Amino acid sequence: MIWQVIVWAIVFAVCIIIEMATLGLTTIWFAGGAVIALCSALLHAPIPLQIILFAVASLVLLFTTRPFAKNYFNKKMQKTNVESLIGETAVVIETIDNVHGTGHVKINGMEWTARSENNAVIPADTIVRVTEVSGVKLIVSQE
């Protein structure tokens, strides 16, 4: 039994060290699963049950808490350059036609290549909203 506890403690420590090194919110959930498995080892649970508890606890933590944690930590990140354009309005200065690969918008005094979000043709002088950025192109939708 003691070796099982040691193994789960090592798994926990490795997950924490990786998380501290990367800060990517990737292994912290598995550290939680390792704690659950370690507790089950202390309670003399069979090894297959320990492994199942580790897997289930890790996945539950990953899928239930990661979106909230990601939003919490990403709030503090400041959008830069192109990312700050998402949600802004722009004026179409050249008709946007995804089929023909044409279209430009003007936003904040700068001209950008643009494509329609839903493949609709958007005529010049239309007000659009930037929904995403794909490479050097702005993806827009009509207001």
Domain boundaries, the chain: 2-74, 81-142
Whether the predicted pLDDT of 143 surpasses 80: no
CATH architecture of the region 81-142: Beta Barrel (2.40)
Mean pLDDT (whole number) for 30-40: 95
Mean pLDDT (whole number) for 14-41: 90
Report pTM. 0.51
Give 13-68 as a DSSP string.
HHHHHHHHHH-SSSSHHHHHHHHHHHHHHHTT--HHHHHHHHHHHHHHHHHHHHHH
97-122 tens-digit pLDDT: 999 999 999 998 889 999 999 989 99
Please tell me whether residue 12 adopts helix, strand or coil conformation. Answer: helix
DSSP code for 103: E
Residue found by looking up tokens 């202390």 in the block:
42
Mean pLDDT (whole number) for 58-82: 74
Give 83's pLDDT tier (boundaries 50, 70, 90): confident
pLDDT at position 59 is: 94
Helices vs strands, H then E, count in the chain: 3, 5
Q: What percent of the chain has pLDDT over 90?
A: 64
The partner residues of 105 in beta bridges, in order of sequence, read 92, 112
Distance CA 35, CA 31 (A): 6
